[in-house]
Structure 1
């Protein structure tokens, strides 16, 4: 018999690929080769499935943020590592996922909002302050303001009404917004270092 975590994992993969609204409990059961009744032994309804899947996704994001900060040589290197992550993974995510959660699954949306207002916000603020101390980011910026701006930029990039996936390369949308944000932070020295890392990223992509 499938476990609760296995069901959540299957649901998560479907949500990321097809969006939340379009995936039914029947789809999840079919993906696992089990009956829908088995799923209801662990979950009262789809809301609970979406909430657990959301928690799992955000826990991975939290782990990623911590790993990037631990591995990074400096704040510019953090930007580089996040850029590489966007290139490798963002294309796998269905653009409707945030909209679907916000509109149809209030519990999951609250989980996301709480994460955004704590972990995500604190991580960005910390990175900006680090870059300012290193002299790579401008001394006149307000980290608490720009951290919130960055969060809203992420939400914007996920908005399929503004950037329909059939019209835009979604990876490019995220990268363009991200680069624009980065260059607004950087000092002259920061720009030089950032572009040094960016060349490494381009070379790596060409080889692959």
Structure 2
């Protein structure tokens, strides 16, 4: 039952936001009593913590599987972006904003894990790209990985990038292209242009 509650709660949180979904909503959606939910989770904060952790591990596992395919690094970043966007439902309810505002401790813990994961993935991605001659060899690898994380975090700030002007899926595409055009070689640019053109068809 605990796994079922986690799964349904995560789905609702992503669709409607962490603040918007109440324990009553969850109980009604599942056709169970609130008492059943509280038998597994002491309070909503605990439920939110476990949902975000579960989602993080799921996303991490999917990213690891994509990396294990050893695609070229440019294609790899697009595959990861597609996977994450699919499983975060395009973040249409801005759950991260609600998490930051109403569950700041959980948000900070998640952001730390996110940073550590992205550092590892992007550092590896950049190093492989340099070795393959598709990223410039004079890059400061640590700077590139950190500025990429910083950018991914910043574009989710709806005060800077309101959804009315920047739909999240398009925004992530634009940001990824912006990032890659700054680090690719002419050889890498050909690969990038091919991926962008095929995505637009």
TM-score, length of structure 2 as denominator length: 0.90
Indicate the residue corresponding to 1:197 in structure 2: 195
CA gap of 1:97–1:37, structure 2 versus 1, over 3 A, is same
Q: Structure 2 CA distance, aligned partners of 1:31 and 1:63?
A: 28
Contact 2:136–2:185, Cα closer than 8 Å, also in 1: yes
Paired residue secondary structure (2:40): coil
Q: How does 1:51-66 map to 2 (within 5 A)?
A: 51-66=49-64
Q: Structure 2 CA distance, aligned partners of 1:200 and 1:166?
A: 26
Structure 1 gaps of 5+ residues are 204-208
Indicate the residue corresponding to 1:5 in structure 2: 3
Q: Structure 2 CA distance, aligned partners of 1:87 and 1:32?
A: 25
Indicate the residue corresponding to 2:23 in structure 1: 25
Q: Structure 2 CA distance, aligned partners of 1:86 and 1:128?
A: 19
Question: 1:107 deviation in Å?
Answer: 4.1
- Is residue 2:138 matched to residue 1:140? yes
- Greater alpha carbon shift after TM alignment, 106-115 vs 58-67: 106-115
Q: Structure 1 CA distance, aligned partners of 2:145 and 2:102?
A: 27
Contact 2:135–2:184, Cα closer than 8 Å, also in 1: yes
Indicate the residue corresponding to 2:150 in structure 1: 152
Question: 1:146 deviation in Å?
Answer: 1.4
Contact 1:125–1:147, Cα closer than 8 Å, also in 2: yes
Query: How far does the alpha carbon of each residue in 1:54-82 deviate from its partner, in whole angstroms, 9 at most, with x for none?
Result: 01211121112112212242212213323
- Is residue 2:101 matched to residue 1:103? yes
Question: 1:106 deviation in Å?
Answer: 3.6
Structure 1 segments, 4+ long, off by >6 Å, are: none
Indicate the residue corresponding to 1:42 in structure 2: 40
Paired residue secondary structure (1:40): helix
TM-score, length of structure 1 as denominator length: 0.87
Q: Structure 1 CA distance, aligned partners of 2:100 and 2:167?
A: 23
Q: How does 1:49-88 map to 2 (within 5 A)?
A: 49-85=47-83, 88=86
Structure 2 gaps of 5+ residues are none
